Amino acid sequence: MILNGGRLLRLSLDKVSGSGFVSKNEFLFGRIDMQIKLVRGNSAGTVTAFYLSSQGPAHDEIDFEFLGNLSGNPYTLHTNVCTQGKGNREQQIRLWFDPTMAFHTYSIVWNAQRIIFLVDNIPIRVFNNLESIGVPFPKNQPMRIYSSLWNADDWATMGGLVKTDWTKAPFTAAFRNFKANACVLAPGTSACIRTASTQDSGWQDQALDASGRKWIQWVQKNHMVYNYCKDVKRFPKGLLPECKRSRFL
């Protein structure tokens, strides 16, 4: 549903179908902001996703996924970076607020040096470009912005133990204030279309400052529940190479 003259969009999920939307433009680097109010009440089994993705089997992808839970339990925010069709770089945190009561801003900063995930402008994760040690980094494929609300009760809540309660359907999530301060690709080229928003180019070399490093340490100490760089059982032959080099993965 598109409401308020196009300023508010709602996605809905029931037992028959989910829903989603995609940007008209493709982007190669930029800052993407979206305000989202997540599914209220018993949202177990549902996933609300907000992500960048290219197309094809060797696609690149930068993910925010919000994993629903039983009423009263916190949402899990799941992030991942996929390059050339391969991911396996998941982190999960518990949000420190109720994301169903009000809109909060979720942002992706993507430049040639790093990817920064932010919640209400607080950095929660940074994925650095470490191609110098053989770590793939998404930098060549333009991506569109996607969002969707779908059923994933085979894995989303407590590893799939808690299933979606369809008597609570329809489940709805709301979106507003989408901003793309980014390089918009001209059709059929690799050149940017210059727009007013691209004049603010701080994202092109944005990094963590001292305050950002303190915030990300706070998030990882108090709210992180899974980090692939700590999962030695999953990677018995050794953790991925960036795990030894990047402090704030």
For 242, which DSSP code?
G
Cross-strand bridge partners of residue 65: 49, 78
Question: What are the tens digits of pLDDT across the range 96-122?
Answer: 999 999 999 999 999 999 999 999 999
Residue 96 within a domain: yes
CB 94 within 8 A of CB 225: yes
CB 125 within 8 A of CB 117: yes
Find where tokens 């470009």 sit: 129
- The pLDDT assigned to 232 comes to 95
Looking up residue 142, the CATH number of its domain turns out to be: 2.60.120.200
Residue 26 within a domain: yes
**What DSSP letter does each residue of 62-130 carry, written as one string?**
EEEEEE--STTSPPEEEEEEEBTTB----EEEE-SS-TTSS-EEEEEEE-SSEEEEEETTEEEEEEE--
pLDDT band at 33 (very low <50, low <70, confident <90, very high): very high
Residue 249 within a domain: no
For residue 63, is pLDDT > 80?
A: yes
Domain that holds residue 226: 2-244
For residue 226, is pLDDT > 60?
A: yes
What SS3 class is residue 58?
A: coil
- Count of domains for the chain: 1
* Nearest CA among 220, 221, 22, 232 for reference residue 117: 220
Taking the C-alpha atoms of residue 100 and residue 120, their distance in angstroms, rounded to an integer, is: 14
Q: Which of 26, 65, 131, 242 is catalytic?
A: 65
Joined together, the tokens standing for residue 129 give 């470009």
Higher pLDDT, 124 or 71: 124
Q: Is 90 a catalytic residue?
A: no
Q: Is 65 a catalytic residue?
A: yes
- The pLDDT assigned to 246 comes to 63
Q: Which of 61, 90, 131, 242 is catalytic?
A: 61
- The pLDDT assigned to 200 comes to 74
- The pLDDT assigned to 190 comes to 66
